[in-house]
Amino acid sequence: MRTRFTRGAVPLTIVWLTLATCTLAPAQERFNRDPNLQKSSARVLKAFRAAVAKPSESTVRVQVDGKDAALGTIIGPDGWILTKASELKGKPICRLHDGRRLEARVVGIHEPYDLALLKIDTAGLTAVEWHDSKSAAVGTFVAAPGLEESPVVVGVVSVAARAVTARDLPPSNNPASGYLGVRLAEAAELGARISQVLPNSPADKAGLKVDDLFLTLAERTIQDVDTLLDALGHHKPGDVVAIRVKRGNEDVVLKATLDRQPTGGRGGRGDFQNRMGGELSQRRNGFPTILQHDAALRPSDCGGPLVDLDGKVIGINVARAGRTESYAAPTQAVLPLLYDLMSGKLAPKPSTEAAARQLTPEDKVAGARTAVERAEAEKATAEKKLAEAKASLEKAEAEARAQKSASK
Amino acid sequence: MAAHQVCIPYRRLFCVVWLFLVFGLAPSLSASAFALDQGAISENAAAAALEKAAPENLEDLRAIQGQVQTIVKKVLPCTVGVRAGGAWGSGVIVREDGYVLTAGHVSAQPDREVTLFLMDGRRVKGKTLGANRGIDSGLIKITEEGTWPFAPMGNSADLRPGEWCLATGHPGGYKSGRTPVLRFGRVLSTTRELIQSDCALVGGDSGGPLFDMQGRVIGIHSRIGGPLTANIHVPVDTYRNTWERLAKAEVWGSQLDGRGRNGAYFGLHVDTDSKECRVTEVDSGAPAAKAGFKVDDVITRFDDKKIASSEELVNQARRKRPGDEVAVEVVRGQETVMLKLVIGRREGRPPGPPPG
């Protein structure tokens, strides 16, 4: 299909979007590339200025060796800054909203979220305002403030904050599922007939042959690709499964040792498509909880805050993870880490972090004080909740008593 | 009516045969079932903000955000994951009785059993119906008993570049711990054959829906180019125009777009929705233009072979190389005209990596 546009027409390579067996069909089409129409046009970004005005004062640019490595989020007025740990491949320098450039020390690293806590020697900074990430429903508008007036990038919450598990992979692509290494004939009337046995695959080693008709795998009836994938989904790599096939007029029983899904196949293609449209973060998965959004961050724009239209922080950007997705560590996941990051409990090991110095006694006092303040604030909230809960319990009990006596 | 360019014979990447099934009624176009929950005031504010070339301030953004969140609640449950063979795609339910729009290369062959994954975790069986391989439209029917959440079909002919739109789908394939993934963007261009938006798509999204700001389906995700602004959707109008053929599990059209093995270029678009081979567009300066093709010409003979459909033309066109001279017979009004077409060579980058 070819379509011409009067402006900025460029022929491009196209790929189809089904994952897995079908399709990667490159095609060429011409696209409208008028930047004024795009959602990330300067005019749209400008509309977000009021939302990022305050949080951009709490955002720093983290540079390593003179290059932009990440953004950072000021979480305490006396120089505490969160950023993306794996982007710090040298001694970090923070450029503040007011133009100052200050050397930073890495005082804590939380590996699961790839977050580093930096400390700069200053005071009187504006810390971000946190907001409950649970309120950031799908469709919430989000912006990533930088140091400029307009945000770096904007988007919407694509998926509300969720815990990431092995379930997060589609069943057939799940490396936790067993892999056999066969393809089935496309024509449904052929049943689960093998059309291809991949060389050196578990199927090959077990002695499966083209034209074998699947009957059962580990006692599960196999009728088609779906039932085969389902059956394999119940097994993990290394499992030995009994497979019964019809070969000619004979029933044949074989044993196969399942393997893990080879890389470079489906995963490789997904990776290729995900890299179309921009660079991805090196560390882009393995986070325990993520808030997924569609703002097209650059890897060097991670580490900064993700804010809603009120300018409140609903998460810290931790990865550009794919063509369609960026990840933020949700506020609810980040807040509990701050104690350990500030207290030195998660201090980087000197052997692996040569640039890191120990916390100064003043830092320790400041960190401990902040931790006490936070704990006190939480205590007050908890006490309030407790009082409310007690009150509603009393009310409910009173109502129950009243009803009981009325019914007598 | 979809038009297709016969610019390049395209190697077949899908082992597909298109077949089919019957259904009479076109889907309801009414959006009334989808009336927005919000109060009249915020609805008006959203309408006003959406009318602007770009939102101007936080109030505009809040109004649009409110509209997005209202729509999202209704459209996410209608968005399904599709497992067809070993491939993952997406789809959208557009009727209560379980008709699912998808991409032609997702449904692939008719009468094939597929599994659909709903947002609430239900897995249901479905059957592939028809497809137009040219424009990449496809239809699936849920075969289990029940009534299903659905989104109404809108109109793609009325879309304007710059209009806001929403995309949902299952990038990377359906994942049980994740709701359908929302993207927000703008329509960047439209033709009868495609919608381009900056709602970023990736493998697994194929067949997923693009919605207008009323929550009506306006397109179905098909393919992508390199930039984040190159996301291509099948216009929803073609589904309505060819509903009976799709529902009857008819498969037609050919994969014309893309780069041929030898880079042959015609610069000619033909109607893939109709039975005859009617020219819908001629690229200016292209070989077809030089040969004198006009819009509405009906091609009846190509290189001395009788042509009765766009598919037959494509089959013949596939065999040609750049530099070949072909005699083409067209019917123009009452006249029969002979044209001499010298096939050109496509310019541009070579295609992406080979199919896996």
**Judgement on whether residues A277 and A397 belong to the same structural domain of the protein:** no
Which tens digit of pLDDT belongs to each residue from A195-204? 888 888 899 9
Q: What is the mean pLDDT of chain A?
A: 83
Q: What is the pLDDT of residue A144?
A: 98
The residues, any chain, with a CB within 8 Å of residue A382's CB and separated by 6 or more, are none
Tell if the CB–CB gap between B175 and A170 is shorter than 8 Å. yes
Domain layout of chain B by residue ranges = 3-12+259-345, 39-76, 78-252
Q: What is the pLDDT of residue B21?
A: 14
CA-based nearest residue in chain A for residue B200: A324
Is residue B218 within 8 Å of residue B154, measured between CB atoms? yes
Assigned token pair, B350: 């070579």
Tell if the CB–CB gap between A3 and B191 is shorter than 8 Å. yes
- What is the rounded CA–CA span in Å between residue B351 and residue B130? 28
* A89 lies in some domain: yes
Q: Would an 8 Å CB–CB cutoff place A292 in contact with chain B?
A: yes
Burial (CB < 10 A; 0-12, 13-18, 19+), residue B146, is: exposed
Q: Which CATH architecture has domain B78-252?
A: Beta Barrel (2.40)
Tell if the CB–CB gap between B353 and A272 is shorter than 8 Å. yes
- What is the rounded CA–CA span in Å between residue A146 and residue A301? 8
Which tens digit of pLDDT belongs to each residue from A207-233? 999 889 999 999 988 887 777 877 887
Q: What is the pLDDT of residue A59?
A: 98
Q: What is the pLDDT of residue B22?
A: 15
Is residue A317 within 8 Å of residue A304, measured between CB atoms? yes
Tell if the CB–CB gap between B13 and A139 is shorter than 8 Å. no
A226 chain-B contacts, CB cut-off 8 A: 83, 113-115
Q: Would an 8 Å CB–CB cutoff place A15 in contact with chain B?
A: yes
**Judgement on whether residues A51 and A159 belong to the same structural domain of the protein:** yes
Q: For residue A219, what is the domain's CATH number?
A: 2.30.42.10
Is residue B281 within 8 Å of residue A2, measured between CB atoms? no
A138 chain-B contacts, CB cut-off 8 A: 69, 72, 76, 179, 182
A265 chain-B contacts, CB cut-off 8 A: 356
Domain containing residue A389: 360-408
**Judgement on whether residues A154 and A224 belong to the same structural domain of the protein:** no
Burial (CB < 10 A; 0-12, 13-18, 19+), residue B16, is: buried
Mean pLDDT to the nearest integer, A56-66:
96
Q: What is the pLDDT of residue A188?
A: 57
Distance from CA of A295 to the nearest CA of B (A): 9
**Judgement on whether residues A50 and A156 belong to the same structural domain of the protein:** yes
Q: What is the pLDDT of residue B347?
A: 52
Is residue A142 within 8 Å of residue A293, measured between CB atoms? yes
Tell if the CB–CB gap between B232 and A14 is shorter than 8 Å. yes
**Judgement on whether residues A60 and A155 belong to the same structural domain of the protein:** yes
The residues, any chain, with a CB within 8 Å of residue A302's CB and separated by 6 or more, are A70, A71, A84, A87, A281, A317, A318, A319, A320
The larger pLDDT score, comparing residue A192 to residue B161, is at B161
The residues, any chain, with a CB within 8 Å of residue A134's CB and separated by 6 or more, are A160, A161, A330, A332
Assigned token pair, A257: 């040792």
How many angstroms separate the Cα of B3 from the Cα of each of A376, B273, B278?
68, 7, 9
Q: Is the pLDDT of residue A170 over 60?
A: no
**Judgement on whether residues A68 and A213 belong to the same structural domain of the protein:** no
Class of the CATH domain delimited by B3-12+259-345? mainly beta
Mutate to test the interface with A, among B136, B183, B220 (most CBs of A within 10 A): B183
Tell if the CB–CB gap between B83 and A24 is shorter than 8 Å. no
* A355 lies in some domain: no
In this structure, what are the phi and psi dihedrals at residue A383, rounded to the nearest 5 degrees? -65, -40
Q: What is the pLDDT of residue B355?
A: 24
Mutate to test the interface with B, among A324, A325, A327 (most CBs of B within 10 A): A324
Tell if the CB–CB gap between A324 and B181 is shorter than 8 Å. yes
- What band does A150 get if pLDDT is binned at 50, 70 and 90? very high
* A25 lies in some domain: no
* A237 lies in some domain: yes
How many angstroms separate the Cα of B72 from the Cα of each of B79, B182, B296?
10, 8, 41
Mean pLDDT to the nearest integer, A292-310:
97
- What band does A140 get if pLDDT is binned at 50, 70 and 90? very high
**Judgement on whether residues A247 and A286 belong to the same structural domain of the protein:** no
Q: Which of A26, A229, A296 sits opposite B259 (nearest CB)?
A: A26
- The total number of structural domains in chain A stands at 3
Q: Is the pLDDT of residue A310 over 60?
A: yes
Q: Is the pLDDT of residue A173 over 70?
A: no
**Judgement on whether residues A275 and A296 belong to the same structural domain of the protein:** yes
Q: What is the pLDDT of residue A270?
A: 59
The pTM assigned to this predicted structure is 0.71
Is residue B85 within 8 Å of residue B61, measured between CB atoms? no
Q: Which of B54, B69, B255 sits opposite A137 (nearest CB)?
A: B69
Distance from CA of B200 to the nearest CA of A (A): 5
B60 chain-A contacts, CB cut-off 8 A: 47
Chain centre to alpha carbon of residue B119: 23
Q: What is the pLDDT of residue A189?
A: 62
Closest by CA position to B82, among listed B59, B104, B57, B53 = B104
Please state whether A20 falls in left (phi above 0), alpha (psi between -120 and 50) or beta.
left
Assigned token pair, A331: 């506020």
Determine which of A238-242, A343-347, B344-348 has the lowest per-residue pLDDT on average.
B344-348
Distance from CA of A180 to the nearest CA of B (A): 13
* A86 lies in some domain: yes
Mean pLDDT for back-to-back runs of 10 residues, chain B (356 residues):
30 22 21 35 79 92 96 97 85 98 91 92 94 92 96 96 96 88 96 92 93 97 87 96 96 57 70 75 81 91 87 77 89 93 64 25
**Judgement on whether residues A73 and A157 belong to the same structural domain of the protein:** yes
**Judgement on whether residues A180 and A216 belong to the same structural domain of the protein:** yes
- Per residue, the 3-state secondary structure of chain B, as one string, reads CCEEECCCCCCCCCCCCCCCCCCCCCCCCCCHHHCCCCCHHHHHHHHHHHHCCCCCCHHHHHHHHHHHHHHHHHHHHHEEEEEECCEEEEEEECCCCCEEEEEHHHHCCCCCEEEEECCCCCEEEEEEEEEECCCCEEEEEECCCCCCCCCCECCCCCCCCCCEEEECCCCCCCCCCCCCCCEEEEEEEECCCCEEECCCCCCCCCCCEEECCCCCEEEEEEEEECCCCCEEEEECHHHHHCHHHHHCCCEECCCCCCCCCCCEECCEEEECCCCCCEEEEECCCCHHHHHCCCCCCEEEEECCEECCCHHHHHHHHCCCCCCCEEEEEEEECCEEEEEEEECEECCCCCCCCCCC
Is residue B235 within 8 Å of residue B194, measured between CB atoms? yes
* A20 lies in some domain: no
Q: Which of B88, B103, B229 sits opposite A170 (nearest CB)?
A: B88
- Complex prediction ipTM: 0.71
* A4 lies in some domain: no
Of A257, A288, A321, which one is at a domain's C-terminal end?
A257
CA-based nearest residue in chain B for residue A41: B54
Tell if the CB–CB gap between B224 and A276 is shorter than 8 Å. yes
Q: For residue A284, what is the domain's CATH number?
A: 2.40.10.120
The larger pLDDT score, comparing residue B286 to residue A385, is at A385
CA-based nearest residue in chain A for residue B17: A187
Distance from CA of B95 to the nearest CA of A (A): 23
**Judgement on whether residues A49 and A161 belong to the same structural domain of the protein:** yes
**Judgement on whether residues A246 and A317 belong to the same structural domain of the protein:** no
- What is the rounded CA–CA span in Å between residue A227 and residue A232? 9
Q: Is the pLDDT of residue A15 over 90?
A: no
